[in-house]
Amino acid sequence: MSALEAIRPSFYRVVSLPDILVGKVYLVGAGPGEPKLLTLRAVEVLGIADVVLFDGLANLDLQNFLRTRISKENTKLFNLNLNTVKSSSAATEAIPGTVTAPKVESSPGECEWISVGKHGSQRIWKQSEINDAIVHHAKLGKTVVRLKGGDTGIFARTGEELERIVSESIPFEVVPGITAASAVAAYAGIPITHRDWASAVALVTGHSQPSDGGPESDEAFDWDSIAAFPGTVVIYMGVTTVEDWSRRLILAGKSPETPVALVRRCSWPDQETTLCTLGEATDRMTPASKFRPPVLVVIGPVAHLGAPFNWFQKRPLFGKKILLCRPQDDSDGTAEELEALGATVYSQPALRVELPENWLELDYEIERLSQYQWVIFSSRFGVRALLDRIHSLGKDLRVLGNCRLAGVGPSIREELEKYQLRADMIAGSPFGAKALLHELLGITGGLTEKSADSRIRFLIVGNNRTDPFLGLELESGGFQVSTITAYRTLAVPYPAPLINEKLKAGSIDYCLATSPAIARRLVDWFGKELSKTKIASISPAVTAMFEGLELSNIVEAKEASIAGIVASIHNDCGLELDKTGDAS
């Protein structure tokens, strides 16, 4: 054993196994932070990984993004094409209503996410330890992803890892990512090249390279050349060494008045941008608690050009954290709409959608659909439940015959269109059973004993929680009504621990209450702790669910729709900005 091997930690011993068992290593750039800035290839690779070794600059929200993406591509929320009901217990363990998250300490068969060090929270691994870990897992036949913040080729020590991988004859692939300098140009609006101001860019590390286990070494930078560089200088990893590099640049002739932009956590929901001069940089970045890594420093005339172009931080809901409790559904664009406005969205379904306990009732009604004049859907899930079941029985849309189709909200129209069907009636604003009843009366002549026509039959496709109001009102007018439970919605008994912690810490700005059932779950989950956030309520009926808690922090939509509730949050944020401006 060599002297070097003797001092290395023993928790990763590289094993010698037959070559047939050797896995493959992917060196992957995670981009600057926003999960959607992953390349398509990076998503593919992470989807097949057995082990992910990630560093402190990789956003762990990538895990949630990947879980959602993979679940949408590989599974349905509930599979109604099956001819028998199957148990979904695996999906309801751990955190009910969500897909099981990758674990750092995982059991066989799961993807294992291993942190190799994060500033301020744990020991940062030596490069030799990371190299050993990569080889160790690969020689066990695993698919290993070494996930790095930014790009694999920019200050990522990829070369050292490649040297070790090649020396061990392990197959590998390098997947590039968006580096921080490119992200700053896009997300902070700073054009690091500009026809009038900068035709060249220099990327410089502000953190000189330490030897494993040794003190910081002094890189032989030619500070005179860097100071005289005719373009934009971008410094990576320069927080803890700001006093040193700023002093050296000034001593080398760079003017203390040179414009500087400090961009922290570029593309993350809490991105910060500070404009100053080179002479002010040290004061703006120290002590470390003022401006924690990751920070990118842009030095040069272009640094102060970004203010009017900083679209990211100017979005109306930027920095707001919103809890969305609607059932997970890839056709529901609520989260995407809120994110486009700048919000950070946490998804914690209050209800989970499941198959009916048996198919007998639904199959019976499908066989006699031709007897109905109207089929009314209470939700988009009902549309899916009925039409997918028709298909699984070997039938097609002809079984609907001359049935007219109605629904209580615009999502039902959209869902029907996916099946090449058009709705005959969708309840107007405000959406709901009362509005639909009113419109039905308009075409049936009203619910009077004289005009009620017993030949008009209604089939209401709902679930185990469907409000009986509409069916009872139609029956009271003499119409024939059948209501079926086409799917079930079950209450999620408790939120994920992370969501619970964030709400109780006051870290969530708004909780969306889009139905009475969701409002009830919020009350059961959090009780009076809801006073630490704002409730965005979709209607007076939903607002009433919170009356027992005597909450005064409720923002109610003027229109009972998702668009209405988003508008109410938007307006409330505008009022907050006005108050802040008045106070200042």
Helix then strand count (H, E) for the chain reads 21, 21
Check if 196 is active-site.
no
CA distances from 347 to 47, 278, 329 (A): 21, 42, 11
Identified catalytic residue from 118, 395, 434, 532: 118
Chain centroid offset of residue 15 CA: 38
Torsion angles phi and psi, residue 556, rounded to 5: -105, 135
φ/ψ (deg, to 5) at 188: -105, 0
Choose, from 132, 139, 148, 237, the residue flagged as catalytic.
Answer: 237
What Å distances lie between residue 96 and 40, 93, 233, 355, CA to CA?
A: 29, 6, 49, 16
- The residues facing 261 across adjacent strands are 275, 298
* CB-based burial label for 225 (10 Å; 0-12, 13-18, 19+): exposed
Backbone angles phi, psi at 47, to 5 degrees: -70, -20
C-alpha 280: how far from its chain's center?
Answer: 36
Q: How far is CA 99 from CA 37, 90, 286, in A?
A: 22, 9, 41
Query: Cis (ω within 30 of 0) for the bond into 171?
Result: no
- DSSP-derived 3-state class of residue 202: strand
What torsion do the CA atoms of 537, 539, 540, 542 make, to the nearest 10 degrees?
-60
Tokens of residue 47, six digits = 């989807």
Considering only CA atoms, which of 426, 472, 425, 481 is closest in space to residue 453?
A: 481
What is the Cα–Cα distance from 44 to 24, expressed in whole angstroms? 14
| Phi, psi of 525, deg, nearest 5 | -70, -50
Inter-CA distances, 250 with 244, 246, 281, Å? 10, 6, 12
- How far is residue 24's CA from residue 41's CA, in Å, rounded to a whole number? 15
The answer to whether residues 28 and 43 touch, using CB atoms and an 8 Å cutoff, is no
Q: How far apart are CA 52 and CA 154, in angstroms?
A: 20
Nearest in space to 201 (alpha carbons), one of 175, 231, 178: 231
Distance between CA 219 and CA 213 in Å, rounded? 17
Catalytic-labelled residue, pool 55, 132, 151, 509: 55
55 is catalytic: yes
Active site residue 218: no
Closest CA to 84 of 456, 389, 507, 445: 389
User: What are the tokens at 487?
Assistant: 């799917």
CA–CA separation, 66 vs 68, rounded Å? 5
Active-site annotation, residues: 55, 118, 237
